[in-house]
Amino acid sequence: MARQAGAYREPMTEAAISIQGLCKTYAVKGGTAKRALDGVTFDVPRGQIFGLLGPNGAGKSTLINILAGLVNKTSGTASIWGFDIDQHPRNAKASIGIVNQEILFDPFFTPVETLEIQAGLYGVPKKQRRSLELLRAVHLEDKANAYARTLSGGMKRRLMVAKAMVHSPPVLVLDEPTAGVDIQLRQQLWEYVRALNEGGVTVVLTTHYLEEAEQLCDRIAIINHGRVVANEPTRELVGRAQEKVVAVTVDRDLTAAPTAPCFEKIVLKGGRVLEITYSKDRVNAGQVLAAVQEQGLGIVDVSTREADLEDVFLSLTRGSAGN
Ligand SMILES: Nc1ncnc2c1ncn2[C@@H]1O[C@H](COP(=O)(O)OP(=O)(O)OP(=O)(O)O)[C@@H](O)[C@H]1O
């Protein structure tokens, strides 16, 4: 795929997005003000696929809407492709394409018209427009002239991605682009996102699918209660998971799970399988198995599971439910 970001000047900084001490407090009528972002600082390196994760209500959409110019920040700074969003709002806006959670376009226009109108709004000269190329890339070429309202949910989402790319921004932000999209379409969407990234576009995505984030993202920041609680290369973040799980099948039926100081958690499944969570910086699998044997149980089978992003995510955001 051709480099999408070619039309842009070299940025003044190396970061695609730079956020410093960003705060947002929403005024709530008749109630206490809601602090949605509380001193958020991080950089999105150029050329990466960057995951922004967090539980519901953590502040992700607020952050993205500030970058999009839809929400006014309370304090702090943000720049996109080197352009401060306050000092150079037009350049900042031209440097970013945003796919929001809501599907927004006129249902009576066709996909090709939708893209042409969007290109017009961004002042893209007719000769430089590539509406059909974009539709081809999101597998919507055969729907180019259908009414947008006749598209399926997944097709509409793909049209939203194409719409965000009409002005060839060097940075693309996707806010939960695959929510409610079936697995096959998700895969297609991610293939396109990967291809854009390979073509030089920096991608920021928020997703609730941790497995997806783990597979796609070079780096992940996790926000919780409006604060950054992690910001690391994906591999390092996953490696930080302290807990490991070992499933032990024993040689007889049990009525209750045994206990031992080295078990963080133990669950009895189906009478003979003990699913034991242990902290890998305190004990190793051998010590856990020895503790099972000390209970007078014979071990028939053992399987372990590597920690994944979900483990890290849960341990970093534990206790945040009901926000
Ligand atoms: N316009 C608003 N007025 C008042 N409070 C708001 C407003 N928008 C968001 N909030 C609150 O700010 C906090 C952060 O919301 P935000 O939508 O940014 O979270 P999020 O991480 O995007 O969540 P989700 O994953 O559910 O979309 C939440 O507590 C939310 O209720």
Convert the pLDDT of each residue in 110-119 to its tens digit: 999 999 999 9
What is the DSSP track for 228-249? EEEEEEHHHHHHT--EEEEEEE
39 lines ligand 1 (CB under 6 A): no
Q: Per residue in 222-263, pLDDT tens?
A: 999 999 999 999 988 887 777 788 999 999 999 999 999 999
Q: Enter the DSSP assignment of 56.
A: T
61 lines ligand 1 (CB under 6 A): yes
54 lines ligand 1 (CB under 6 A): yes
**Other residues' Cβ atoms within 10 Å of the Cβ of residue 143:** 20
Give the residue, by CA position, lying nearest to ligand 1 atom 31: 57
pLDDT of residue 5 exceeding 60:
no
Report all structural domains of the chain as residue ranges with CATH numbers, in order of start.
10-95+170-177+202-241 (3.40.50.300), 242-306 (3.30.70.1560)
- Determine what percent of the chain is predicted with pLDDT higher than 70: 92
For the CA of 323, the closest atom of ligand 1 is 29
- Please give the distance, rounded to the nearest whole angstrom, from the Cα atom of residue 59 to the centre of ligand 1: 6
Sequence letter at residue 19: I
Give the residue, by CA position, lying nearest to ligand 1 atom 18: 59
Which helix (DSSP H) or strand (DSSP E) does residue 251 occupy?
none
For the CA of 37, the closest atom of ligand 1 is 14
Q: Per residue in 49-104, pLDDT tens?
A: 999 998 888 999 999 999 999 899 999 999 999 999 999 999 999 999 998 877 77
Which whole number is the average pLDDT over 292-297? 94
pLDDT of residue 2 exceeding 50:
no
**pLDDT-based confidence at residue 152 (cuts at 50, 70, 90):** confident
